[in-house]
């Protein structure tokens, strides 16, 4: 994850990712003494939640955004979280060897350019038989789509004449299919224990909240546009999304968030 992130904005508006992550945390059934690595920890709030669940263990969060790491250290200092630490780290350049019983990655691996290398590094980071749990954006089929109304609205607006020139030659980040992800995990040396798509209805309180969610996570797209025009672009996307999925009577916008959820163990070394 090498884009420029605004940690405070992400902290406020990443509630869809947080809600999905909590579901997977419940399913991990931790013993309380595990050493855990959180790959792509972002603002650190899920990492901090992990630390509360392993009072006799430890949690290390890594992220390729120095700003995110600085923010996480400020929000969750050692004085209040003695078994929690944060460090700059690239998911595709992991150097750990047999150091963790559990590695997790919440809504981060789809940002990694070289997923096969990242998965091999994660496997090497685990102790033999260690557990890996992740949520990532993926397609159900090789020819499928990952679009929600929000993503469909973004694509439509990007194709409009005022914005098209900014995305000429823009390289979309590849979304792997479920079959491809399964093969990559197997190739990296994992034994799959659970592999399924999960979804949760996310309620955005109003159009401003939906815009905040988009703004805080879409840097790859908005960075293509001059700074003074980004707000207008986001307004058009949100308006189109509302047309595709109208708010309820209270003005809240309800959209479904989908993730591929993986639980696996490290095979023999």
Q: Could you give the CA distance from residue 233 to residue 193 in angstroms, rounded to a whole number?
A: 42
- pLDDT band at residue 257 using 50, 70 and 90 as cut-offs: confident
pLDDT of the residue at 198: 87
Residue 65: name the closest of 108, 115, 122 by CA. 108
Q: Range of 189's domain?
A: 7-266
pLDDT of the residue at 213: 93
User: Does some domain include residue 46?
Assistant: yes
User: Does some domain include residue 118?
Assistant: yes
User: Does some domain include residue 52?
Assistant: yes
User: Does some domain include residue 2?
Assistant: no
Angle at 17 between CA 266 and CA 199, to 5 degrees: 80
User: Does some domain include residue 140?
Assistant: yes
Checking DSSP bridges between strand 100-106 and strand 126-136, what pairing results, if any? parallel
Are residues 10 and 75 in contact, defined by beta-carbon separation less than 8 angstroms? no
pLDDT of the residue at 176: 86
User: Does some domain include residue 1?
Assistant: no
Element of type H or E holding 168 = none
pLDDT of the residue at 142: 54
pLDDT digits over 108-120, tens only? 998 888 999 999 9
pLDDT at 248 over 80: yes
pLDDT of the residue at 1: 39
Residue 16: name the closest of 199, 207, 244, 226 by CA. 199
pLDDT of the residue at 63: 96
- The pLDDT > 70 percentage for the chain reads 94
CATH number at residue 142: 3.40.50.150
Give the phi and the psi of residue 134 in degrees, each rounded to 5: -150, 155
Structure tokens at 5: 């992130």
pLDDT of the residue at 209: 94
pLDDT at 68 over 70: yes
What's the mean pLDDT in 233-248?
Answer: 96
pTM check: above 0.75: yes
Q: Could you give the CA distance from residue 240 to residue 148 in angstroms, rounded to a whole number?
A: 12
User: Does some domain include residue 188?
Assistant: yes
How many domains does the chain fold into? 1
Residues 6+ apart with CB under 8 A from 72: 7, 41, 42, 43, 44, 47, 61, 63, 86
Structure tokens at 125: 């980071």
Q: What is the mean pLDDT of the chain?
A: 91
Report which of residues 86 and 142 the model is more confident about: 86
pLDDT digits over 97-107, tens only? 999 999 999 98
- For the sheet containing 126-136, what is the strand order? 84-88, 58-63, 35-39, 100-106, 126-136, 253-266, 190-204
pLDDT at 212 over 70: yes
Structure tokens at 269: 């070394």
pLDDT at 254 over 70: yes
Cα dist from 51 to 78, 79, 171, 259, whole Å: 11, 13, 37, 23
pLDDT at 143 over 50: no
Would you call 92 exposed, middle or buried from its count of C-beta atoms within 10 A (0-12, 13-18, 19+)?
Answer: middle
């Amino acid at each position: 994850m090498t884009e420029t992130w605004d940690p405070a904005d992400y902290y406020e508006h990443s509630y869809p990712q947080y809600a999905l992550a909590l579901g997977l945390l419940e399913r991990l059934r931790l013993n309380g003494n595990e050493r855990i690595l959180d790959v792509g920890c972002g603002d650190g709030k899920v990492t901090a939640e992990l630390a509360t669940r392993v009072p006799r263990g430890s949690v290390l969060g890594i992220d390729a955004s120095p700003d995110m790491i600085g923010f996480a250290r400020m929000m969750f200092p050692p004085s209040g979280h003695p078994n929690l630490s944060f460090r700059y780290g690239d998911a595709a350049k992991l150097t750990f060897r047999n150091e963790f019983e559990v590695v997790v990655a919440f809504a981060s691996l789809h940002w990694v350019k070289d997923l096969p290398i990242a998965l091999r590094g994660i496997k090497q980071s685990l102790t033999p038989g260690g557990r890996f749990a992740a949520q990532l954006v993926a397609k159900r089929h090789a020819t499928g789509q990952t679009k929600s109304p929000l993503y469909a609205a973004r694509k439509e607006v990007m194709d409009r004449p005022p914005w098209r020139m900014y995305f000429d030659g823009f390289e979309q980040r590849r979304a792997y299919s479920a079959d491809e992800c399964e093969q990559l995990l197997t190739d990296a040396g994992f034994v799959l224990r659970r592999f399924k798509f999960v979804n949760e209805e996310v309620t955005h309180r109003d159009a401003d909240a939906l815009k905040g969610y988009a703004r805080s996570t879409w840097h790859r797209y908005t960075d293509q546009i001059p700074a003074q025009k980004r707000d207008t672009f986001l307004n058009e996307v949100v308006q189109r999304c509302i047309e595709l999925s109208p708010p309820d009577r209270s003005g809240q916008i309800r959209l479904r968030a989908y993730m591929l959820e993986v639980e696996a163990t490290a095979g023999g070394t």
